[in-house]
Structure 1
Amino acid sequence: MKPVVALALLYLVLIQPNHPQAMTWGALAVFPLELPVIVATLIALGRSWAGTALRIALVAVLWAVAVLKLADFATFTAFNRGFNLMVDYHLAPAGWMLAKGTLGTGLAGLALAAGLLGLLALGYALWWATGVLAGLPVPRLARPVALALVPLLLIPPVAEIGAARGVWVLPENLRPPGAAFTARVGLERVEQAIAARVDLARFQAAAMADPMRGQTPLFDRLGGRDLILIYVESYGRSSYENPLYAATHTSTLRTAQQSIADTGLAMRSGWARAPMVGGQSWLSHGSVASGMWLDTQSRYRALLASPRRTLFHFAQQAGRRSVAIMPAHVLPWPEGAYFGFDAIYNAPDLGYRGQPFNWVTMPDQFTLTAFERLELSRRDRAPLVAQVVLVSSHAPWVPVPEMVPWDAVGDGRIFDQWALSGDPPEVVWRDHDRVRDQFRQAIDYSLRTVGAWAARQGGDPDKAPLILVLGDHEPARFVSGTEDYDVPLHLIGPPDLVSLFDGLGWAEGMLPDPASPSTPMDALRDLLLTRLGSGASAGPDTQASAYTPQGRAP
């Protein structure tokens, strides 16, 4: 009985899928071609010192690949891509923070403990299973025969791996009856690590070459008016294409369009291409600021160590004040020093005295009011180039505030009536349909808030700012319901400034044309600099990326 259980355990570990769509009953019918090789080798070496060394190596490899498959499963669910050990190790603490905000510290701690115990149990089970097979009582000649069979048993998995990777094409009648999926995942991870190192070297070289360095004048077409970049968390093309959200969000944008137009401001809307989905908003912010494609944390860290100048460095060069409004940061932001901000306002600096909305530290309406109070209302200040990051539409999307009169925002305690309302995240997130509806409401709140705030800035074209509103990325695929990486962008401001961006295919108003081209986020820095500065030129194609690596999001 023990050998049967041991074989079943190895079978399940070897066929373990790494993608949510592969988690079907059909996966059980895929025979693992590695299994005969493993069994024959264990029998051949038995409980000798070589057999023990083999078991140690085998258990370590199978356990590591199983963990990587679990990590793949998580990142495919959240980010629509596999896990890259070289660049994604930082996701562990970020996942813990999100779990605490969604489930609460107690449940998140229990889940973490259960996961760690499960991984320890898996390692022990693999050691036991390989020991059972290595200790099978077999005839004396069985061990040398098994050893002789190992090279022959290697042929099917090697043939399948080569065919799956496109190295060769196998005739239909010679295709192995199964798959060597676990071996293929392990091989791909080794290659992925090598490729990541090569890619990082290319990225570092590209970061040194900046087409905008030394160009002047910059931002002179703005005159004394401000440039404000506003990021709306988790706002993507799904707000227009997913029927669960489209009616609500497009209706809100039409209302905002009318109120903004009534103040004399012009609008254009289009699409930007984000480097990721599901999270890591700072990669989008950094891509826009630096003109570099930041789709991994390694590139982000390489950027921070480079002399690359951001949009905000160029703002300082032009005599403008650069500020960042970062309500998600409850602690100081050490990376912020790199980006060239004269002032960084983290959550404690914004003056919010109300209750948090679970992970979300404060409502967007308070964030924008604090921006007005801390920067826009200052007398005798230099024109601004500002980055404002809104977080009300960040997961877990529970609860959702309502808008209040702008002069009633105060210190934020007026929002407490909603901060503690409704079911907590750990209840809502048991039902994916409820999660999607909360997402719909949260994005709608953010869009209503941004639209109303933009309308407040109109009235005087000589003083009104140029506002670029854009999503940072799509939410996780089970929420967005799309495979797209596009996010909306809305340019709002005085007609003479908005007209500087004509010719890009952006539609008038607040609703982008579904067929209009998408601008990669890493092209936006140079696009802003060349359109707003009479002395700046990035070449004939302002939509081109400063760095276009292989594997870029489609």
Structure 2
Amino acid sequence: MTMRRALPLLIAALAIQLALTLPGAAMRPTPELPLLLLALVLGGGMARLPVAAALTLLAVQKLADLGMVAALGRPFNIAADLPLLDAAVRLLAGSFGGLAGLGAVLAAALAAAVGLALLPAMTPRLENLRYASQRAGLATATVAALRDFRAAAAQDPMAERPGLLGAIDRDVLVIFVESYGRASFATPLYAETHRATLRRAEADLARAGLAIRSGYLVSPTQGGQSWLAHATFASGLWIGDQALYQAMLASGRQGLFHHARRAGFRTAAVMPAITRPWPEAAQMGFDRILAAPDLGYRGPPFNWVTMPDQFTLAAADRLLRGQDGAPLFAQVALISSHAPWVPVPRLIGWDEVGDGSAFAAMAAAGESPQEVWRDRDNIRRHYRDAIDYALQTVMAYALRHADKPPLILVLGDHQAAQGIAPDGGRDVPMHVIGPAALVERSAAWGFAPGLIPPPDSAAIPMDRMRDLILQGFAAPGIAPMERPAAQGRSSPSPATTRTEVPS
């Protein structure tokens, strides 16, 4: 065989090998390779183009798996994850610039085109590829899971129960802290900083007369898709992917905020990451939605992060709290600890917050995302500092309102990606802060006093929290729910790491 004929064969062999072995060891021989090379030499033209297209799709699926495993700790599910592509491109554009988002789209298109160009002569028996059958099985299982999910959504034991939330006589704030997970207590790099911050806050809050209890929950996601955690917490259903999220919205399920509205609260969502229309919010039980444009921020963004957490909380006070009439029951999503974790804001005096212009110098300070993300250790340091800022801000906010405290439920939405937060599985902390008469009710959930949960604390699946809150704060005479078992019926999450650094 001449070099002129051998070179295309070698290139095709490499392409075949990559398609067959990604995301594993690409240079390890596979049993299919010799057969495909033989087909390349002897095969006719009729079957080559459709087979090439099939192998290209296989390669694209595997590349998608690589990206999803790195970001979210799970493979790409074509039946559930296609809507995430647009969100991923917008995140890249917001963090690293419009050219980065455009580059990602062009790179994906180029990869598909190259695959079609390099794989036109292969005639493999794709049905023998275990990987392809596994991914097809995953999509089929997702469709079946949707049927079961819809049935579960229709069977709601809380739907007609009276007196739920009847013991609460004040505002309630459910504050999600972006990317806050058990790694803050289990990973030494983070624990040294975050534990110290929480110990100081615990002492300050106790001196101000506030009670505190903390525990762990299991989130349905890791590394992203915060809305799945928000929906799981509120709906009482395990929502682990986008398909289940859409099914929940269509189900008419009465979530935590529907029940709060029925109990006489004003309901609201403060969502500084929402910059585009959010029609699905109408199904979530919120009377009022405050998206990024509604919060009045006039400072510059912090890359993808639209505004600092301190401004978000100050805006919630200004726009929602302190009003006559019914108490407030609100969800607040804090996003300063969202990737790319640069630049990290710092706390200022609450009377200096104003319209956000005071944060302008911070938004322009420090390294760029491109500089930070060249080095994993630097990424982790910035992640540590961003979480610490978020914790300082939330605790300072609780202390600021100690004279007339709301009931504050602070929790992480999910852990950061495994490369950033390798310890703690999918566990996230939850803190209950407020007057002792209300906070002590969370003892029945297994929550311990203080802001630092014990290292051996069992984690409650996040979908249990709707019913625990509804019944745990029910009016007198309504029987409370029994303390739940950890890692319950609905959690498909991986095993959780229990080892933590010493206090």
TM-score normalised by L of structure 1:
0.84
Q: Counterparts in 2 of 1:135-174, with a 5 A limit?
A: none
Match status 1:94 vs 2:36: no
1:432 aligned residue: 376
Q: Which position in structure 2 is the counterpart of 1:145? A: none
Q: Residue 303 of structure 1 aligns with which residue?
A: 248
Question: Letter of the aligned partner of 1:391 in structure 2?
Answer: I
Q: For residues 240 and 446 of structure 2, what CA distance do their matches in structure 1 show?
A: 25
For residues 350 and 481 of structure 2, what CA distance do their matches in structure 1 show? 44
SS in 2 for 1:303: helix
- CA distance 1:441–1:544, change in 2 (3 Å): closer
Does the 8 Å CA contact 1:238/1:482 hold for their aligned counterparts? yes
User: Does the 8 Å contact 1:477/1:483 carry over to 2?
Assistant: no
Distance 1:419 1:455 in 2: 26
- Tell me the amino acid that sits aligned with residue 236 of structure 1: G
What residue number does 1:522 align with?
463
1:485 corresponds, among 421, 426, 431, to 426
Q: In the TM superposition, what whole-angstrom CA distance separates every residue of 1:93-145 from its partner, at most 9, and x where no partner exists? A: 11101111222112332343234223212210112x54xxx9xxxxxxxxxxx
Q: Is the 8 A contact 1:10 1:126 kept in 2?
A: no
User: Which residue pairs with 1:165 in the alignment?
Assistant: none
2:33 alignment partner in structure 1: 35
In structure 1, which of residues 40, 55, 59 is the aligned counterpart of residue 52 of structure 2? 59
Aligned CA distance change for structure 1 residues 314 and 536 (closer, same or farther; 3 Å): farther
**Is the alpha carbon distance of 1:314 and 1:533 closer, same or farther for their aligned partners in structure 2, counting shifts above 3 Å?**
same
Residue 237 (structure 1) aligned to one of 168, 182, 196: 182
Q: CA deviation at 1:267?
A: 0.4
Is 1:548–2:490 an aligned residue pair? Answer: yes
1:413 positional shift = 0.4
Which residue of structure 2 aligns with residue 454 of structure 1? 398
Which residue in 1 is equivalent to 2:163?
217
Residue aligning to 2:211: 266
The structure with the larger Rg is 1
After the TM superposition, which residues 60-209 of structure 1 pair with which residues of structure 2 at under 5 Å, given as runs? 60-127=53-120, 129-130=121-122, 183-209=129-155
- Distance in 2 between residues matched to 1:430 and 1:371, nearest whole Å: 36
1:244 partner SS: helix
Equivalent residue, structure 1, for 2:474: 533
1:290, 1:309 within 8 Å by CA — same for their partners in 2? yes
What is the aligned partner in structure 1 of residue 500 from structure 2? none
AA partner of residue 65 (structure 2): D
- Which deviates the most, 211-220 or 531-540? 531-540
Residues 265, 326 of structure 2: 8 Å contact kept? yes
Give me the whole-angstrom Cα distance separating, in 2, the residues matched to 1:237 and 1:436. 15
Letter matched to residue 484 of structure 1: G
Aligned residue type for 1:195: A
Q: Find the aligned partners of 2:387 and 2:294 in 1 and give their Cα distance.
A: 25
State the distance in 1 between where 2:311 and 2:218 align: 28
Give SS of 1:260's match. helix
Contact 1:75 1:81 in 2 (8 A): yes
Whole-Å Cα distance in 2 between the matches of residues 512 and 184 of structure 1?
Answer: 43
Give, as a single letter, the amino acid of the residue that structure 1 aligns with 2:71: A
Identity of aligned residues (%): 44
Q: Which amino acid aligns with 1:269?
A: S
Aligned residues of 1:266 and 1:493 also touching (Cα < 8 A): yes
Q: Distance in 1 between matches of 2:258 and 2:445?
A: 25
Q: Which residue of 1 aligns with 2:344?
A: 400
2:227 to 277, 282, 285: 282
The residue number in structure 2 matching 1:252 is: 197
Q: Which secondary structure does the structure 2 equivalent of 1:453 belong to?
A: helix
8 Å CA contact 1:473, 1:487 repeated in 2: yes
Note the C-alpha offset of 1:211: 1.0
Supply the distance in 2 between the matched residues of 1:78 and 1:469 (Cα, whole angstroms). Answer: 24
Report the RMSD for the aligned CA atoms in angstroms. 2.2
User: Which of residues 6, 9, 19 is equivalent to 2:9?
Assistant: 6
Shift of 1:537: 5.5
| CA deviation after TM superposition for structure 1 residue 421, in Å | 1.1
**What is the letter of the counterpart of residue 16 of structure 2?**
V
* 1:202 aligned counterpart, secondary structure: helix
Deviation at 1:323, TM superposition (A): 0.8
Cα distance change, pair 544–341 in 1 and its aligned pair in 2 (3 A): farther
User: What is the number of equivalent residue pairs in this alignment?
Assistant: 490
Question: Which runs of no fewer than 5 residues in structure 2 stay unpaired?
Answer: 496-503
Q: Distance in 2 between matches of 1:544 and 1:245?
A: 25
Q: Give the letter for the 1:212 counterpart.
A: M
User: Letter of the aligned partner of 2:276 in structure 1?
Assistant: L
Alpha-carbon deviation of 1:217?
A: 0.8
Three-state SS of the structure 1 residue aligned to 2:81 is coil
**Cα deviation 1:184-239 (Å, max 9, x = unaligned):** 211111111111110111111111000101001111111x2122100000000111
> How far does residue 39 in structure 1 lie from its aligned partner after superposition?
3.6
Confirm or deny: 8 A CA contact 2:442 2:472 kept in the other structure.
yes
CA deviation string 1:466-519 (max 9, x = no partner): 111000001111111236100011110100101111133322111011101101
8 Å CA contact 1:265–1:495 kept in 2: the answer is yes
Report what 2:407 is aligned to.
466
Relative to structure 1, the CA distance from residue 387 to residue 77 in structure 2 (aligned partners, 3 Å threshold; closer, same or farther) is same
Q: Which residue is 2:361 aligned to?
A: 417
Deviation at 1:310, TM superposition (A): 0.5
**Which residue is 1:381 aligned to?**
325
Residues 229 and 386 of structure 1 are in contact (CA less than 8 Å); yes or no, is this contact kept in structure 2? yes
Paired residue type of 2:373: W
Q: Which residue of 1 aligns with 2:501?
A: none
